[in-house]
Structure 1
Amino acid sequence: MLTATQDDVYFERMASSLGDKARLLHLTHGSRVLDVGAGGGEFAELERINGKQVTAVDGSWVALDHIRENFPLVDRVHEYAHSLHYEFKEDEFDTVVCSALMHEVYSYGTEASPPYSLHAVDEVLESIWTVTKTEGTLLIRDGVMPREWDKPVRIETAPGATSDVLAFFLWYAQQAPFFNTSGDPRTVHLRIGDDGRSLEGNLASAMEFLYTYTWGWEPSERETRELYGILTLDDWIDLLDNHGFTTRYSTEYVQPGYVEYLSTRVRIVDEQGAPVQWPSTNMILSAWKR
């Protein structure tokens, strides 16, 4: 949910991840492509250059204005992801692309579903199913919850580093709506360790906090509202299956930049103090409509 004061940093970060989004190009099938939650429009423009008839959809006029100014040949439509079936025909698109969209749908909700509810994601998948051709393709690139999400870990300042991670944590704990001690996988429950210098919790909580930490202080007011890894890869595959999509390709990986940025500031260790390998941050799913 972009505002005029947040768009510069957002669009800069989205443009910088275009190389990562380009991994979706070889998974695109057919000629008619719908880019849902198109953001700055960089990927939609790339699809257009590659000969696709692409339509960029976003619920933010700020985003659509950015696309109009920078990529005027891309078709633009103002619509929300859960109501695509009101704007487009049934079976209209060969491929529907959702890049970094689903975690926002979950975090902000819809008219019918409150924030932080998987019902909002269900709504979007139902709408996408309607506008996708039979045997057409749904592509999702988004955050992913670690497979060992409940593994107890500790966040420490990296050796030789000066880190503001504790100060950032105190601010984050006041800002993030999903910060609590319930133990649910889609909450963040960290605490300052007995040593007064580390943070303790499970791996999913640690990663959610660190995702926001990578944005820095200035743009994080928006980012503290968003939960990035809402499901594990296997849970995503099951959810798509429940909505009539069969996954034919899936992968999870660490998005370039995360480790390089974080490893100079913090490290993650287990209960015995041994370093924990950075878990996957992102996933790509390609599924066909049954």
Structure 2
Amino acid sequence: MSAQLTSVLFPGRHHLVTRFQVDYLRSLLDGNESDTDGRPLVLAPEAEVVWAVTSATHTGTRRNPVPAHRREALIERVALDADLPSVVAPVPDVPPSPRFATTVLASVQMTTGRTLTPDDTVVACSTPAVAALYAALGFRVAAVEDSHDPAPLRPWDVLEHMVAGDPAWRDLAHPQTVELYDRYRLDDAVRLVHTDPTVGSEGDLTETRDYRTYTAAFDDASDRKWAQVAPHVVPGKVVDLGCAAGGLLERAARDPRLAECDLYGVDVSRHLIAEAEHRQAQGVFENPNVFFAQRNLLRSSVFPPASITTTITVALTHEISSYGDGRADLELLARRIFEHTAPGGVWINSDVLGPDGGDERVVLRLDGPLRTDRPVDMSGWTRQAVHDHITALSPAERFVQFARDLPVLAHTDLEAGPVSPDGEVVLPLRSAMEFLTTRDYTDSWLSECHERFCDMTWDDWRTLLTDVGFEIGVGSGPWTNDWLVEHRLSVGASIRTPSGAPVPWPSTHLLMVARKPH
């Protein structure tokens, strides 16, 4: 007779629990199931289920749409309702590894004090590759869905039915799953994450961004950016859309005028919101009323109508235009912000700007040498390899690479001629500025080549905002960043007309203070 087992290790992400899973676990505890070798599994009367919730530190993505605390609550409700003796062990998100089973076992030991061994534990797992990792450690495996023919739908299959709007998911999921999803509207949240066309499977606009340098750049500019927008902030409820790691809100939290205000940081990036919340836990925000959320305002409203006095967007709108549907998404953003802005409130937008007369053909002169006019396909390269390759190129060679990467990644045409042996290229002024404002982002080259910096001119913005209903406030206007011109744009480059006359450097940025009328 087989030795009695005291634990059932049930690893999984557990975004929902199905009726079948509960019935199977009950049957397993009652001694009615066998392992993958056909041997009966005999469970002790005091046996319990150890629910290992994997990817517990990862949320807001298609892979993990439900946060760990909701998953834990779901399991506790199901276990109580089904009379399943249970404990829950959160397991951090880790990259795929042959040591995954060991990681889960160590997490269980650290969070529950239970040391699970092949002598006292059976692993309930229907994923063959994962089950094999436990079997290699000597554990017996109960195959759950794979033990039946035909196999019932797994939880992820049921979740995809829910995303597709198929009401059958409610019959397949355990009733406590349905109740919790209804209570917290998790089905809507999961559906938004899964159907978002601009955010990738890992919860960000792009998978090629270097977050270390990206966050550092935002932090370095936060003092300057806050000084620019602070005079126009209307106290009350203040929102920083595209808040990154919270650098701007850190400055806002120090402002005596906003000491009694609620400050909200919203970003689509899971990585950046996690860093902002980490900083909050370290006490960097002087105002205690600072809140962060991972949301995409284009997919659904985040705040109630007429509830926000100030919305700030810094270096955000060009990303929305680039990764979304161009001007149409900017119009949607403007309408959403107008809706949640209180009468007399403002939207303060600081971002890059396309040049007036952007269709005018100019001659861009770039320093050589031009050793090759053949760009390379860097897809699949490591970030460091991309950085090293781009850094080694001369300005003229870097343009050759840019002329290949921008159309592929940002879906736009530079309309540029070939680069001559002496480094001259004829192209629209807008395309010349696209290159010059992008070329120095060597740490995140492929990410930046997804973005278009010059989609909107000042007149475009003014028309868009007034059409929505905003008034253009005092302090608004285009401007040229002279430091950028001197230290970046003009280094190894110049722009002339086809007749040879110098072209003045156009506006590079805008500050727009859009006020909602009383």
TM-score category (smaller protein): 0.7 to 0.9
Matched ranges for 1:262-273 at <5 A? 262-273=489-500
Counterpart of 1:8 in 2: which secondary structure? helix
Residue of structure 2 equivalent to 1:6: 210
Q: Does 1:121 align with 2:337?
A: no
Matched ranges for 1:1-290 at <5 A? 1=205, 3=207, 6-22=210-226, 23-50=228-255, 51=258, 52-72=261-281, 73=285, 74-83=290-299, 85=301, 87-109=302-324, 115=325, 117-157=326-366, 164-177=394-407, 187-216=413-442, 218-249=443-474, 250-255=476-481, 257-259=483-485, 260-290=487-517
Structure 1 contact 90–130 (Cα < 8 Å) conserved:
yes
Q: Which amino acid aligns with 2:213?
A: V
Counterpart of 2:506 in 1: which secondary structure? coil
The answer to which of 239-248 and 145-154 deviates more is 145-154
Structure 1 contact 92–133 (Cα < 8 Å) conserved:
yes
Structure 1 CA distance for aligned equivalents of residues 238 and 351 of structure 2? 18
C-alpha spacing 1:4/1:65, structure 2 compared with 1 (3 Å): farther
Structure 2 CA distance for aligned equivalents of residues 20 and 211 of structure 1? 19
Unaligned runs of 5+ in 1: 110-114
Deviation at 1:192? 2.5
Q: Which amino acid aligns with 1:203?
A: L
Structure 2 contact 229–348 (Cα < 8 Å) conserved:
yes
Counterpart of 2:439 in 1: which secondary structure? helix
Structure 1 contact 44–54 (Cα < 8 Å) conserved:
yes
Unaligned runs of 5+ in 2: 1-204, 370-391
The structure with the larger Rg is 2
Structure 1 contact 2–63 (Cα < 8 Å) conserved:
no
Counterpart of 2:244 in 1: which secondary structure? coil
**Cα-to-partner distance string for 1:162-215 (whole Å, 9 max, x where unaligned):** 9712221222222213799x9xxx742222244552121111110011111021
Structure 1 CA distance for aligned equivalents of residues 495 and 269 of structure 2? 36
**Cα-to-partner distance string for 1:10-67 (whole Å, 9 max, x where unaligned):** 1122223224412011111122101111112111111121124210000111111121
Structure 2 CA distance for aligned equivalents of residues 207 and 20 of structure 1? 23
Q: TM-score if structure 2 supplies the norm length?
A: 0.50
Structure 1 CA distance for aligned equivalents of residues 365 and 467 of structure 2? 40
Structure 2 CA distance for aligned equivalents of residues 248 and 90 of structure 1? 21
Deviation at 1:81? 2.4
Deviation at 1:104? 0.8
Structure 2 contact 343–516 (Cα < 8 Å) conserved:
yes
Aligned-pair identity in percent equals: 23
Counterpart of 1:235 in 2: which secondary structure? helix
Any runs of at least 4 consecutive aligned residues in structure 1 with deviations exceeding 6 A, and if so which? none
Cα RMSD between the aligned structures? Answer: 2.6
Structure 2 CA distance for aligned equivalents of residues 231 and 5 of structure 1? 23
Structure 1 contact 84–131 (Cα < 8 Å) conserved:
no
Structure 2 CA distance for aligned equivalents of residues 222 and 253 of structure 1? 26
C-alpha spacing 1:60/1:247, structure 2 compared with 1 (3 Å): same
Q: Which amino acid aligns with 2:396?
A: L
Structure 2 contact 208–446 (Cα < 8 Å) conserved:
no
Structure 1 CA distance for aligned equivalents of residues 466 and 492 of structure 2? 40
Structure 1 CA distance for aligned equivalents of residues 490 and 208 of structure 2? 32
Q: Which amino acid aligns with 1:278?
A: W
Counterpart of 2:218 in 1: which secondary structure? helix
* Structure holding more strand per residue: 1
Counterpart of 1:21 in 2: which secondary structure? helix
Q: Which has the higher contact order (CA 8 A, sep 6+)?
A: 1
The answer to which of 57-66 and 74-83 deviates more is 74-83
Structure 1 contact 96–138 (Cα < 8 Å) conserved:
yes
Counterpart of 1:155 in 2: which secondary structure? strand
Q: TM-score if structure 1 supplies the norm length?
A: 0.87
Q: Which amino acid aligns with 1:189?
A: E
Aligned residue pairs total: 277
Structure 2 CA distance for aligned equivalents of residues 4 and 64 of structure 1? 17
Residue of structure 2 equivalent to 1:112: none
Q: Which amino acid aligns with 1:177?
A: P
C-alpha spacing 1:159/1:257, structure 2 compared with 1 (3 Å): farther
Deviation at 1:84? 5.4
